[in-house]
Structure 1
């Protein structure tokens, strides 16, 4: 049963509202409003046509940069992989070196590239480390091999100064400089380079490609080594003038101390050499080197390595050379010693060699000072005349040698050993020595009168005395004392020209000797060292000597020498009595004859002057009881000297030399034998009588006795 529950809802759906139909869109395109043109500006207007070129350039540039970066990376990897251990790089020598020591064992000269031994950047003096970094690469510890800022700044300066950005200051970092020192890993090849100088010049050559190669090699070094190792290579291979390779060698060369001990001024001077080693070398011009050192000190202060007070103190006390480096001694002597040894241990050595020599630095200084004094005080300004000096002991040990007026040169023409010059009357002692050895007496009579000699092929020869007068009958001693020419030639012919030649050759005159009678007047040529050595034979009693300077040659580190002295006293040439009498005759030359200007108060001096025909050469060679010294003076081109004879400026140079040499020494007597007839000293020429210390009657008796003796002996 159902009930009604109220009215039933209508059976119809809810009324739906019908949406209005949408408007149909128009198919006609809508016209857009035209945009206002964009303002480009003047620059944009100019660049706009080339926009596509800029885009193209950019695309090429960044792709090229990627390629270059990859190539650099490959180059860095290649170089880094081929770089050896640091120990193989610190010594840059391709040849050995020679260190020359004087008679006291002190070093006075070097030859070849000197290498003082490896010193690391950690062991070097802090002063030197700071000076090098402040001067050469103040951002060394901050870059990766190339200081781009410094390089760009240097290129700008170069462009402003000369127009070529790659020419001039390069702004290279220490790493880049080390790369050049290593020549980018290329060793010296004699088939590629003419010599080592050409090799080094090629390694330093600057081109755009070389700068790129340098940068790549620098990056590789930074990748392979630490900063300390790179600096160590640099400190050991840099050239610092005067043949010094590396700071240890240079420090020893200039200051006589290790690079680990140099003070601020010394460190500054060494670091300053890196800019121009040869020009700034203190042995060449100390003032220039000190000025450069002052600049380095200022840079050290600016970079915080020195306080203002420390810099001021260093500026006020610049570095000076050691005594050995300061002494300009030994240039000519060192060259001569090098030539006297075997080439494979001297100029051509591949080992490090030490040569002990006979050089006495005190005597060397005396000779140099004497030469300088005479040319400054007694030679006209502008004169191109030259002079040479040799001082030696009686055994031929050369104690000093000056080969010319320029005392600072090395490898120059040595007038003491290389100049062959006519000897003039300096040859006459060998004539008189021959006569004495054959039994003649200093009081034998010779005739000084006009005389001519005829030689085959040369015709008649009539020599004259320098004074153009004749003395008549004179004794041998007086003829030598006055340096008379006619008696010397007559005596040479009397005793035998070949005998005279033999005596001279045996005393060490190895140059070709004249064949004619002019032999007696020194027409032959010889060197100063030969002539001085021959006079040493007279001093030592008549035995020949071979002048020598090399005492011992050994390799560094070896105790046993490879070579010892080959000079010294040799065989006897004339009898000792003859040599002693000849010494007495030569003593008379200085006491009262042509050599008076060589006399030294308190000392017995013997010697002989020499002047060649036309005064092209002037000599004085003499000796005390200890030393023999020879002096030559002339022009290199054989121009005649004006107003100069052996008794003049050469005797003055000799005197000034030996005053300094003998100063402070106890006088030593000459080893001379006074003839019995000369117990009374000879009078000086021009003092009256016959020149001897006898009455005229006594002199006549002596002369007559001598003439009879000569007749009896077939003379």
Structure 2
């Protein structure tokens, strides 16, 4: 009988220890159990990896169900694994080891999904890390595979810019994208490259295309600044974008930009990259490349730039449209000062050199804006220049436009239509001014180019009415008739056509001079029938009419459709004595080379008009103005001839008149061809002619020296004031009280001839004058009130600049030049004259 040992634990009594087989040593409870636990852990890890892979793939494809299922499975796996850890720990054994002595059936291993299901936050955290990482890796790979070649972005072939000069050499407009000349390493001033590096990429010489330090600095400054205040792209990255990529703002483009920057650094030197960037970057106002910018703003090549000019251009690349000095000179000057300061900080220049550069005057050689009213003329010049010299590269075009007459033409058309147009239901007008040689001195294609680019002087075809009688009478005078020949104003019928007079009455017998002056329709119809419509058509074509003219009796009264330019050209032929007159808008075209691309020579003379016939025609034209339908065009002390034209139901009203020097054609009407309120050629058109010619004659008599168009001379540079200030002048940087009042160190002066405006206009003037020196003096030859001065800035009259920009009104005692400046602003609807 076996006795029980009261001192022995009960589990030892029930389960005696097993014998260790021969050849094996006991390593304690961790021997076989450790190996089993390791195998189980490896299996669990593989299962967990498979489920995490399923989770990541499902999230990347957007397959929500599979991702959610994988997450639940992973959570279950993690929960099961954690439970086993807890159970083993409680039993006092390794949590990963199995207990071979445990009683009861063996439990199957818990799956990884089941374990992860118990802790879903772990799966979510893994997904948040893995999914973006996989997406970013895929995007980087895709960006690399679709990487474009270096230099793949090429400017459109044949694209060029026009710099447009008036007939006196003044630059008044620019069009197109300026490309300039490619700057070479030998031509680049040292301070130009230093300025770009200082303001755009201080570590350009040190990094390898991408600058992590600069990128982190930009991120930090943008974060504390509350917006994008600084970019992290290097010069190399910017050059890669300009030459190889589009301008879309996407992560893919930024990745490709970085790849290309690394490739550039591997294939090009730093100096080559910097030079390429300068030759490609955009500097505002349509200027691409540093040489184009230097010529656009300063009228010189890039190699001739001074330090302050180079600093100003370097400051533009960050915001070229906002800081272009032609629009925002004050902002561009402030930015240039920042560039100079950064050059001091980087050691490129000394503080003394920066101060000296800031003190230097920067003079622009291009007007701030193209006058809006000249755009109709510019459209025609652009097409003409392409026909005359279709060469690549930027060109300068010397035109026939007289800026003084152009401003006057725009002003008189706008003023008359503003005053009477609404009452008389006339909404549009057009004007062409020619000299005897056919040069187009002024052109108004409509009231507002921004509203409509349709040129009513060259594109609109309208019936000319009695204006066409010029060809009927000239044909008759060349075939034996004369101004004293008598015909009878009476009812007539030619075929099925019965012409009527505008008055509805008949005057009986009258000489042709009177019939032409009074615009009698029945007499013109009889004359055309007598000489033959084909002969009238031949005369019109010989005089320069190119439109199709139908062979019908009503053609005598202007039933065909023609343009204002071709009719004005025909009348100019009578004044010149030869026809057709060669109407033209271009004197010369210059490119980069000294030799002109085009130079107008004397036009081949047209067919001479018989002297006697021409004299009779001029006499008849003068009779129209002296006592006929064109009396409203008379100008005291000046011989004037012309002809009125009015179409059926007052849809069109014309007047073409001439002086010994000018031929002026005017049309008034509506774009929708609606009727006006009884407006004939002797009404608004004749009045506009009178207003224009009266003042144009005085302007032409005063004259302005014109550089030789035959030698295509460029306009002289204006680096110094035209009128040096007298010794007692007031000089300094003023404060702006309003646009007509300035303060110099406590002394307040008023600009002579300007009634100032406050508010936004005054603030704009203050920005324009910021840190710029102004010189003022009493107006010469004019009695002015105390403290009324005329001021100049960079050689230009400040009062004239203000009035031209619409920054104020001309005072009652303003001289003629300031009245003309106000008239220009009014015609262009600039500043205070803009439509509300």
TM-score (norm. length: structure 1) = 0.67
| Map of 2:332 onto structure 1 | 293
SS at match of 1:453: coil
Match of 1:97, SS state, is: coil
Distance 1:242 1:507, change over 3 A: farther
Structure 1 segment 173-572 matched on structure 2, within 5 A: 173-184=234-245, 203-225=246-268, 229-259=272-302, 260-261=304-305, 268=312, 271-272=315-316, 275=319, 277=321, 286=327, 289-290=328-329, 293=332, 296=335, 300=339, 322-323=366-367, 330-340=374-384, 345-346=389-390, 349-350=391-392, 355-380=397-422, 385-406=427-448, 412-449=453-490, 451-455=491-495, 459-465=496-502, 467-552=503-588, 556-557=592-593, 559=595, 561=597, 564=600, 569-572=605-608
Relative contact order higher in (CA < 8 Å, ≥ 6 apart): 1
Residue of structure 1 in register with 2:160 after alignment: 97
Aligned to 1:594, the other structure's residue is in SS state coil
- 1:185-231 CA-to-partner distances (Å, cap 9, x unmatched) read xxxxxxxxxxxxxxxxxx11232211100122223334544555444
CA contact (8 A) 1:265 1:319 kept: no
Structure 1: 5+ residue runs without aligned partners?
Answer: 1-26, 36-45, 185-202, 669-715
CA 1:434–1:224 in structure 2 vs 1: closer, same or farther (change >3 Å)?
same
| Offset at residue 566 of structure 1 (A) | 8.9
Change (3 A) 1:614 1:60: closer
- Which shifted more, 619-628 or 122-131? 122-131
Shift of 1:607: 1.2
Partners of 1:373 and 1:129 lie apart in 2 by 52
Indicate conservation of the 8 Å contact 1:603/1:667, yes or no. Answer: no
CA distance in structure 1 between the aligned counterparts of 2:700 and 2:335, rounded to whole angstroms: 46
Q: Contact (CA 8 Å) 2:210, 2:233: kept in 1 or not?
A: no
Distance, in Å, in 1 between the alignment partners of 2:367 and 2:379 is 20
Over 3 Å counting, the alpha-carbon distance change for 1:494 and 1:130 in structure 2 is farther
Per the TM alignment, residue 301 of structure 1 is displaced from its structure 2 partner at its CA by: 8.1
Determine if contact 1:598/1:654 at 8 Å carries over to the other structure.
yes
Task: Tell me the C-alpha RMSD between the 2 structures.
Answer: 5.2
Q: Which is worse superposed, 629-638 or 245-254?
A: 245-254
2:544/2:580 contact within 8 Å kept: yes
Can you give the 5+ residue segments of structure 2 that lack an aligned partner in the other structure?
1-26, 30-88, 93-116, 346-350, 704-836
1:594 aligns with 2:636: no
Residues 398-407 or 133-142, more deviating: 133-142
Alpha-carbon distance in structure 2 between the residues aligned to 1:414 and 1:104: 25
**1:299, CA displacement in angstroms?**
5.3
**Take 2:472 and 2:556, find their aligned partners in 1: how far apart are those partners?**
6
Cα separation, partners in 2 of 1:235 and 1:397, compared to 1, 3 Å: same
TM-superposed deviation, 1:497: 2.2
175 and 371 in structure 1: CA distance in 2 versus 1, 3 angstrom threshold: farther
What is aligned with 2:691? Answer: 656
Tell me if 1:576 matches 2:611. yes
Cα distance in 1 for residues equivalent to 2:702 and 2:477: 27
Residue 266 of structure 1 and its aligned partner are, at CA, apart by 9.8
Change (3 A) 1:575 1:606: same
Q: Cα offset for 1:98? A: 5.4
Query: Which secondary structure state, in structure 1, belongs to the residue aligned with residue 500 of structure 2?
Result: coil
The aligned counterpart of 2:38 is none
Moved more, 126-135 or 105-114: 126-135
Aligned counterparts of 1:641 and 1:153: Cα–Cα separation in 2: 66
